[in-house]
Amino acid sequence: MSDSRYFFPVLVEIIPAKADQEPILANLMEFYAHDFSEFVELELGPDGRFGYNSLSLYWKEPGRYPFLIKAGGTLAGFALIQEGPGISGGDPVWDMAEFFIIRGRRRRGIGMKAAHELWRRFPGKWEVRVRERNRGAKEFWAGAIAAFTGQIVPPTAFQKNGVLWQVFSFLSD
Ligand SMILES: CC(C)(COP(=O)(O)OP(=O)(O)OC[C@H]1O[C@@H](n2cnc3c(N)ncnc32)[C@H](O)[C@@H]1OP(=O)(O)O)[C@@H](O)C(=O)NCCC(=O)NCCS
C-alpha cells in the first residue's frame, strides 16, 4: 500500500522558541535523552526524568538560540544552537549543540530541511559534532552537509573525556 506521506513535500518550519515555550523543549529533550541513553550513560533522576541542566540558559545567555521544528504544522523536533570557540578553540563558530526529530517523523527529509534552514539563517563557520557511536546521525550529517555545501566534507575525529567524536566543519555563506 502506498503512503502519501512519502510523496508530498512537507512544509518544515523553524520557530524560535520563546521563554514561555521552555517546557515544550524540556519535554522533547526527554525523548532525545532517552534515545541517547542507548549509547551514553545517562541516569534518570528520581522524578523519572533525565533533565537537561543548561536548557534555561538558552533564554538567559547571549549566543544561544533555541528552536522548535514543525513539519506539516505540527511539532516534530527541536534544535539548540550556540556560538562558541569551536573544538580547536579558535574563531567563534556556530555549533549545533542539540538536534532532534521525533521517531515517528524520521526518514522523511524533515531533519535535512530543518538543518539546511538553520545553516542558512546563521551564515559563517559551522561545527557539527557527533558521537562516533551515533552511526545513524553521522550518516545523516554527512549527507545533509554534502547536500548543503555541494561537496563531501570529511569529518575530523577527536576525543574528549574518553568519548570519541567526529566533527564536521564547513562554511555557510
Ligand atoms: C539524526 C536525525 C536528526 C535524522 O533526522 P531525519 O528527519 O530522520 O533525517 P532525514 O529524513 O532528513 O534524513 C536524510 C538522510 O540522512 C540519512 N539518514 C538519516 N537518518 C539515518 C540513520 N538513522 N541511519 C543512516 N542514515 C540516516 C539518510 O541518507 C537519509 O535519507 P533517506 O531517508 O532518503 O535514506 C534523527 O534520526 C534524530 O533525531 N536522531 C536522534 C537524535 C540525534 O542523534 N541527533 C543528532 C545529534 S548529533
Domain boundaries, the chain: 10-127
DSSP string, 93-111: EEEEEEEEE-GGG-SSSHH
Q: Which of 78, 98, 107 to mutate to test ligand 1, by most ligand atoms within 8 A of the CB atom? A: 107
User: How far, in Å, is the centroid of ligand 1 from the Cα of 128?
Assistant: 14
pLDDT score of 6: 56
Query: pTM, whole model, 2 decimals?
Result: 0.95
The rounded radius of gyration (Å) of the Cα atoms in the chain is 16
User: How far, in Å, is the centroid of ligand 1 from the Cα of 6?
Assistant: 15
pLDDT score of 1: 44
Nearest to 168 by CA among 150, 133, 144, 135: 144
Locate the ligand 1 atom nearest the alpha carbon of residue 143 and give its number. 16
Residue 84 identity (one-letter amino acid): G
Q: Which residues pair with 100 in a beta bridge?
A: 78
Q: Is 100 in the pocket of ligand 1 (CB under 6 A)?
A: yes
Q: Is 136 in the pocket of ligand 1 (CB under 6 A)?
A: yes
Whole-angstrom Cα distance, residue 152 to residue 144? 10
User: How far, in Å, is the centroid of ligand 1 from the Cα of 46?
Assistant: 31
Compute the half-sphere exposure of residue 108: CA atoms within 13 Å on the CB side of its CA. Answer: 20
Fold of 10-127: Aminopeptidase (3.40.630)
pLDDT score of 34: 97
Q: Is 130 in the pocket of ligand 1 (CB under 6 A)?
A: yes
No. of helices (H) and no. of strands (E), the chain: 3, 7
Q: Residues of the chain whose pLDDT is less than 50?
A: 1-2, 4
User: How far, in Å, is the centroid of ligand 1 from the Cα of 57?
Assistant: 27
